[in-house]
Amino acid sequence: MQTAQLRIGTRGSALALAQAHETRERLMAAHGLPAEAFAVEVISTSGDRIQDRPLSQAGGKGLFTKEIEEALIDGRIDIAVHSSKDMPTQLPEGLRLSAFLEREDPRDAFIGGTAARLKDLREGAVVGSSSLRRQALIRRMRPDIEVVMFRGNVQTRLKKLDEGRVDGTLLAHAGLRRLGMTDRITDLMAPEEFPPAPGQGAICIESRTGDARVEAMLAAIDHAETGTVLACERAFLAALDGSCRTPIAGLARIDGDRLSFSGLILTPDGSVSHDISAEGRAGDAAKIGREAGERVRAKAGSSFFETWE
């Protein structure tokens, strides 16, 4: 039996496995290797196990990456495949984001049970979401409806919707596309009124710094444009100390050699928000994002951020 040349670490949800398998297939195609050359290792994370409270109360984004990164540092796996929006802006020493797959549609999708669009829900309707960003945006758009915490993987959330526990929920369009479940979508949210999370829709691959063999393999599947827009979005997030405790949205786009960025910060109840836009050379992506974050932080004032605690 052939020994795996590359061990791929991932969470065990259907979506996480779909992302790991997509990464494996791209590596197989790029290097002419069979499936047996890659081993997909499922690693249980704290974020998957904690289902009884919001992640913001349990420790934030790192709960979805901690155990996988420990396996990477220990050498039990060679690469880790993540949803970019789940990645903290600070990585453990010795690890780096080495590649990004081409970004899928970053928009949020609404799955309605009693109405096709969020705007059309009855007064007092209930919408489920575990994302503070989505919760704040829902409340900004429809302050008359109730928003409840909605943990679990895609299938679990849709089952709760089908059981009538809520009138609707929101999920990433990209995830539903990767799972072949776009038939469940009743509306797609326009980024101008319902902007996505920084990194949403993009798969990132983490590896050990200085692992030349792995980096050479990943270079063949890295999508440079996705890496550039995410450098901007992640710099914006870092400038705001972004985590699961902070309702932050941001989306960068490239046109030729120019990059445009739009960002938004909100209070959790959606009643106060500040937006920012910036543009410049694509080569200055991280600088554009960082400066946009610094400007919107100054614009909002320190008292605005105290409401997040």
pLDDT digits (tens, 9 = 90+) for 214-248: 999 999 999 999 999 999 999 999 999 754 467 99
Rg (CA), the chain: 19
Residues 94, 236, single domain; the answer is no
pLDDT band at 1 (very low <50, low <70, confident <90, very high): very low
Residue 163 belongs to what domain range? 108-188
pLDDT band at 2 (very low <50, low <70, confident <90, very high): low
Tell me the average pLDDT of the chain. 91
Residues 34, 86, single domain; the answer is yes
Residues 272, 285, single domain; the answer is yes
The residue out of 188, 211, 244 marking a domain boundary is: 188
The predicted model gives 78-107 an average pLDDT of 96
294-306 pLDDT, tens per residue? Answer: 999 999 987 887 7
Residues 155, 267, single domain; the answer is no
CATH number, position 238: 3.30.160.40
Range with lowest mean pLDDT among 48-57, 141-150, 204-213, 299-308: 48-57
Report the share of the chain in percent with pLDDT over 70.
91
pTM over 0.75: yes
Q: What does the pLDDT read at residue 151?
A: 76
The predicted model gives 21-32 an average pLDDT of 97
Q: What does the pLDDT read at residue 58?
A: 46
193 belongs to a structural domain: no
16 belongs to a structural domain: yes
Residues 10, 49, single domain; the answer is yes
The predicted model gives 39-68 an average pLDDT of 68
Residues 122, 152, single domain; the answer is yes
Distance, CA of 188 to CA of 244 (rounded, Å): 23
Residues 90, 207, single domain; the answer is yes
The residue out of 164, 188, 212 marking a domain boundary is: 188
Residues with a known catalytic role: 86
Residues 21, 90, single domain; the answer is yes
Residues 15, 90, single domain; the answer is yes
Residues 296, 147, single domain; the answer is no
260 belongs to a structural domain: yes
The predicted model gives 257-269 an average pLDDT of 96
194 belongs to a structural domain: no
| Amino acid type, 147 | V
249 belongs to a structural domain: yes
The predicted model gives 63-77 an average pLDDT of 90
145 belongs to a structural domain: yes
Total structural domains within the chain: 3
287 belongs to a structural domain: yes
Please say if the pLDDT value at position 44 is more than 90.
Answer: no
Please say if the pLDDT value at position 96 is more than 70.
Answer: yes
Residues 38, 175, single domain; the answer is no
Range with lowest mean pLDDT among 23-27, 31-35, 41-45, 165-169: 41-45
CATH number, position 175: 3.40.190.10
261 belongs to a structural domain: yes
Residues 95, 120, single domain; the answer is no
Cβ contacts of residue 275 below 8 Å, gap of 6+? 262, 263, 264, 296
